[in-house]
Amino acid sequence: YKHIPSGAGLGGGSSDAAFMLKLLNGHFHLNLSEEQLEIYAATLGADCAFFIKNKPVYAEGIGNIFSPIELSLKGYQIMIVKPDVFVSTREAFANIHPHHPEYPIKEVIRRPVAEWKDILINDFEASVFPQHPVIGEIKQELYNQGAIYASMSGSGSSVFGLFAPDAALPEINRKSNSFCFKGTLGQ
């Protein structure tokens, strides 16, 4: 049972689809391998296969070609804010202008989280923020409140902030209806 809002860039629907495949595989004793489940999941949606693994990986292709990474954010505090804004995935992809990052992502995530701010960039932000300024404002507010790193999640509209393990998470005051989650990361 979960409360992941739709249109949030958090993979709520994709994770539901992937975990349903895993449930059916177990319930009916189909004995499908993780790789076969990933193939089936990819036919349901580009990022569905990611949720079959359910651990940090580097994804390429349409989000279905994985290589292992070493990434642990254990102990960091996280705050996720989802404004009352819906970002159409179709709209986000239609307006994106991807660029080649200055530093490869696999290199960036090996660095301390405090160094990510100016080098780990979500390309969707450049096209989504002008259409929905409140999302950019939330990201800036998270930095103003002490986030070590903040980013829009996926194609939006949620924004997450990572805070030091011993940080007290702030209260984000929004005039519009917003969903907000606070917690400690365990992996």
CATH of region 77-184:
3.30.70.890
Residue 177 clears pLDDT 60, i.e. is over it:
no
**More reliable by pLDDT, 3 or 175:** 3
Average pLDDT over residues 5-27: 90
Q: Give the per-residue pLDDT at 5.
A: 76
Mean pLDDT, the chain, rounded, equals 90
- 77: nearest Cα among 180, 160, 173, 178: 160
The boundaries of every CATH 3.30.70.890 domain in the chain are 77-184
Which token pair is 90? 């179709």
Q: Give the per-residue pLDDT at 44.
A: 92
Bridge partners of 58, per DSSP, are: 67
Contact indicator for 160, 122 with CB cutoff of 8 Å: no
**pLDDT digits 0-9 by tens, 44-57:** 988 899 999 888 89
Question: Biggest alpha carbon distance in the chain?
Answer: 51
Q: Give the per-residue pLDDT at 173.
A: 65
Sheet holding 159-163, edge to edge: 149-152, 159-163, 77-83, 178-184
Q: Give the per-residue pLDDT at 184.
A: 86
Class of domain 12-68: alpha beta
- pLDDT bin (cut points 50, 70, 90) of residue 1 is low
DSSP string, the chain: -----TTSSS-HHHHHHHHHHHHHHHHTT----HHHHHHHHHHH-TTTTHHHH-S-EEEETTTTEEEE-----TT-EEEEEEES----HHHHHHH------SS-HHHHTTS-GGG-TTTS--THHHHHHHH-HHHHHHHHHHHHTT-SEEEE-TTSS-EEEEE-TTPPPPP---SS-EEEEEEE---
**pLDDT digits 0-9 by tens, 60-76:** 888 888 999 999 999 99
Average pLDDT over residues 130-143: 95
Average pLDDT over residues 165-175: 78
The boundaries of every CATH 3.30.230.10 domain in the chain are 12-68
**More reliable by pLDDT, 78 or 91:** 78
Residue 109 clears pLDDT 90, i.e. is over it:
yes
